[in-house]
């Protein structure tokens, strides 16, 4: 029985940051793209995902952006969290994995997104453990993320299998001795597992 390190974004749920960008943008067609670059894929977002920036500071930075429409902090927080849609195959697929393996969640995420996901995706609450970037300070493209999982768990790297949609995360896991399944869809992932 292996320990499955299961990613969240684009594995358990579909993620669309443009929902957020369109809902908060003050400007027309180009505004959301600029906000996407600033807050969804930037180094600032990576710092937030690593836990270097607090949710209050992150939202305050977005709220102060002249390209973001004036809005209450609660509305901004809701817009930030409302970017996920569960994949319909997820619950049954995860239950199938749990029949023969232990499931740990391993995700590059921020505390606002993870809180929203726990409420929106009940299957997440069935995981045995959580390895979240904002708690541990590493993204999965960094070997430190996998070294920490191995050392803190007391398990050997060969006992783990990562299921992740990003090739760079899969390569990093493999460089640390962890087998990786590059997720494209649940049928393929379960077959490759």
* Residue 134: burial class (beta carbons within 10 Å; 0-12, 13-18, 19+): buried
* Residue 170: burial class (beta carbons within 10 Å; 0-12, 13-18, 19+): buried
Tell whether the model's pLDDT for residue 29 goes beyond 90. no
What does the pLDDT look like over 72-88, one tens digit per residue? 999 999 999 999 999 99
- 56's CB contacts (< 8 A; 6+ apart) are none
What does the pLDDT look like over 105-127, one tens digit per residue? 999 999 999 999 999 999 999 99
Bridge partners (DSSP) of residue 4 are 103, 161
Spacing of C-alpha 139 from chain mean position: 10
When pLDDT is averaged across residues 157-182 and rounded to a whole number, the result is 98
Tell whether the model's pLDDT for residue 1 goes beyond 90. no
User: Angle, to 10 degrees, between the axis of helix 111-120 and the axis of helix 55-64?
Assistant: 100
């Amino acid at each position: 029985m292996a320990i499955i390190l299961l990613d969240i974004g684009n594995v358990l749920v579909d993620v669309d940051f443009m929902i957020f960008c369109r809902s908060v943008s003050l400007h027309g067609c180009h505004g959301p793209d600029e906000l996407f670059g600033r807050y969804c894929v930037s180094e600032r977002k990576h710092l937030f995902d690593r836990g270097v920036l607090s949710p209050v500071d992150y939202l305050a930075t977005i709220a102060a952006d002249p390209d973001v429409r004036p809005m209450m902090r609660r509305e901004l927080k809701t817009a930030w969290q409302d970017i996920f849609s569960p994949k319909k195959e997820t619950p049954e697929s995860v239950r199938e994995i749990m029949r023969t393996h232990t499931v740990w969640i391993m995700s590059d995420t921020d505390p606002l997104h993870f809180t929203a996901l726990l409420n929106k995706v009940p299957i997440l609450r069935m995981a045995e453990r959580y390895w979240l970037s904002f708690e541990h300070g590493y993204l999965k493209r960094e070997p430190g993320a996998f070294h920490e999982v191995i050392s803190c768990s007391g398990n050997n790297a060969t006992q783990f299998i990562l299921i992740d949609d990003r090739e760079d995360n899969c390569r990093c896991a493999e460089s640390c001795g962890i087998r990786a399944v590059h997720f494209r869809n649940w049928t393929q992932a379960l077959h490759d597992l």
